[in-house]
Chain A
Amino acid sequence: MADKDLELARLENDRQQRRDKIKTLILHVLLILACVVTVYPLLRILSVSLRPGDKLMSTSLALIPEGASLKAYADVLTTTHFLRWLWNSLLITVVTSFIGVSLASTAGYAFSRFRFPGNKLGLTLLLGTQMIPAGMLLLPLFLMIMRLGLINTYIGMIIAYSVSSLPFSIWILKGYYDTIPRSLEEAALVDGTTQFGAFYRIVLPLSTPALAIAFLFNFTSSWNEYLVARVVLSDSARYTWTLGLFELQGQFLTQWGMFAAGSLLVTIPVLAVFLYSSKWLISGLTLGSVKG
């Protein structure tokens, strides 16, 4: 009797294990298929960037093309303004992010620690700005920048970018400050610092991770921006890299190799930073949206 039960149980167990194995196999197949769809275009860029100049137009799907060469990389670095474009982007982006995060760091603290008239209203208005279509503000901003004579300048770009991520940054930082216990500041106040001193010396250093995330968010959104730059910049030497690559890709396929090489050079650091920071970015995103 007991033997038979044991035998049955073993059979059942075997069947279960086999079923699990098949299930795992199916899951892996599905995931690999999905990964091919997401990664393949990136690999194609790599492949195009390695093509020798005379085989640029090719229907070959080989990942490493015949006669692979790095000439496209050399070309994009030497014959175009590519490095200049990267420098322009970097300069604009760093200054914008710096301004955005510094303004947000104090505003977030005020919203986190104080009750003052307009506290609630201010936070709601900040969320409300997220509803405004980007294309809607662009026209008046462009006309303002034009009237101030700032077309084709870094200053014009920085002005256009500087507050676009501010509401979101304020929300992220406020959320983070909320998690820092007030007792730390109270202890410092007893020791004779001012409230601002407590913020500056205690809360701000403790918030480094949140500040880094806000900085990164500002940074990526300006770094990858295209539409504003298209309107404000028209001189090729002042382009950001997004404009430059768009121009390279252009109508003619002759520069496709250079476009691919440039794209890859920009994408790899962006991918690295994104993947490294994605966990925090996502928690920041959901934080902002859940509270809204």
Chain B
Amino acid sequence: MNPIVASLTEVFQMVFFVLWSVFLVEAYLYLHFKKYEEKWFTPAMLAGVPLAGLVYAITAVGPAIPGSIMAAIAMYAFLVELAAIPFFKLVVRGRYSLPLMMIAPGFIGLAMLIAYPLVFEFYLAFHDLKLTTLKVWAETGSIPFMGFQNFVDVFVKSPLSEVTFWRLLLRTLGWTFVNVFFHVVGGFALALVLNNEIKMKGLYRTLLVIPWAMPQVVAVLAMRGEFHSQYGFINVMIERALTAMPWLAHLGIQKVEWLSQHPFLTCTMINVWLGIPFMMVVILGGLQSIPKSYYEAASIDGASAVQKFWNITLPLMRPVLAPAVTLGTIWTFNNINIIYLVTGQAGGTEEADILVSALYKAAFTYNRFSYSAAFAIVIFAILFLVSMLWLKYSKGTDSAYG
């Protein structure tokens, strides 16, 4: 079959499946919210819901479902319905029908694709799923129980082949701090410059956001090319400087093997370049909302530019900066893209990995499924702890500022 037609058919199947699921959910809720007082309600639902479950299973998966599974579906649907009927008749009594019907499809989607995977992650972390047990699991659905062994291993064994958890943690903290610091400082500086009355401001602003606007894959791969030891822009420039001014070599200036010798530095530089525009735009938005009259009043009082910055700009920017920094920190902490795209190919180094990129590699390059589930939970716990501390800390300073 023509590949275009084949792909369209496949996608339409998906659309049909989603629409059909939404229809069934809404029909179920409609009957239970609006018709619960009818005489036929209880018997019709007890018979209809298991039947609908079977029809749904067959339309979604195909008619090849074994009889035992069909029977199980019908039985579970019957039991669930047996509990649901009194709930709708006695507790819900048709209240809040519209809002609940409106959020139901979205939240069912979130439950299946965010909540269930989270639960499954915990299940995996306490069991032993790796490449050797994968096939058995795919066929029978059972994997050996491990207890807390995986969690112990996270701290004891290397997630990859050499680098340890503690090194990764340290590097992640450094990565997050350095990146967010330069994003905010660089973004602030550019925003301050852009906030003046100058010609072609719109053009500058447009050109400056290009790293953010470009598809990240393209931006990172292009930048990686510029760090190539022979043909990359940086080393070409160094080489030209050396040919023009040979005495520079005596100062220790020479070509750098960016990707193989200093991968972490390379990744950090690329990410700083990528992240500044976002901060710049957010901060510029904030700067423009500060009334000019504040600065005029300060000028009349004889305040210097530095004084104006510390006493007017910075305090008034706090409400803009606080969420931007919080978001920026979480994004940077969780940023797999840059490091994976720069170092992720076969034979890639581990010297640039942070926690999340090591997690990705442990799961999908090394196929240590259960191990990386435990690893993911540990990482999430760290992020959660840091965020709680940060929230507490930032609230503390809020009250200090009144």
Contacts and interface: CB of A to CB of B under 8 A. Distances in A.
B58 to A, nearest CB: 16
Given A138-B360, A250-B345, A266-B218, A95 B11 contact: yes
B94 interface: no
Interface in B105-143: 105-107, 109-110, 113-114, 116-118, 120-121, 124, 129, 138
Contacts of A143: 120, 124, 129, 369
Interface stretch (A69-77, A158-166, A205-213): A158-166
Contacts of A109: 102
Contacts, number: 271
B105 A91 contact: no
B240 to A, nearest CB: 8
Contacts of A195: 98
A155 B360 contact: no
A190 interface: no
B3 A84 contact: yes
Contacts of A27: 193, 196, 198
A230 B364 CA distance: 9
B387 A38 contact: no
A183 interface: no
Contacts of A48: 225
Interface in A84-136: 84, 87-88, 91-92, 95, 98-99, 103-104, 106-107, 109-111, 113-114, 116-117, 119, 122, 126, 129-136
B345 A251 contact: yes
Interface string B190-222: 100110101000001011111101111111011
Contact of B98 (A28, A41, A114, A251): A114
A144 B323 contact: no
A39 B320 CA distance: 27
Given A59-B236, A87-B4, A95-B11, A45 B222 contact: yes
Contacts of A42: 210, 214, 222
B337 interface: yes
Nearest to B122: A140
Contacts of A30: 193
Give chain A's interface residue range (CB within 8 Å of chain B).
Answer: 35 or more
B387 A144 contact: no
Given A266-B215, A270-B213, A270-B215, A245 B221 contact: yes
Contacts of B356: 133, 135
B394 interface: no
Contact of A133 (B11, B326, B380): B380
B217 A242 contact: yes
Contacts of B103: 106-107, 110-111, 122
Please report whether the interface of chain B is mostly helix, strand, loop or mixed according to DSSP: helix
A4 interface: no
* Size band of the interface chain B makes with A: 35 or more
A271 B210 CA distance: 7
Nearest to A114: B99
A92 B8 CA distance: 10
16 contacts: A38-B209, A38-B273, A61-B236, A84-B3, A110-B103, A133-B380, A133-B383, A144-B120, A154-B11, A158-B11, A246-B217, A266-B218, A267-B215, A282-B285, A286-B285, A289-B324
The 7 A-B residue pairs with the shortest CB-CB distance in the complex, in nearest-first order: A140-B117, A114-B99, A110-B99, A289-B323, A110-B102, A274-B213, A103-B106
Interface of B: 3-4, 7-8, 10-11, 13-15, 17-18, 96, 98-100, 102-103, 105-107, 109-110, 113-114, 116-118, 120-121, 124, 129, 138, 190, 193-194, 196, 198, 204, 206-211, 213-219, 221-226, 228, 230-231, 233, 236, 239, 273, 277, 281-282, 285, 319-320, 323-324, 326-327, 330, 333-334, 336-337, 340-341, 345, 356, 359-360, 363-364, 369, 372-373, 376-377, 379-380, 383-384, 387
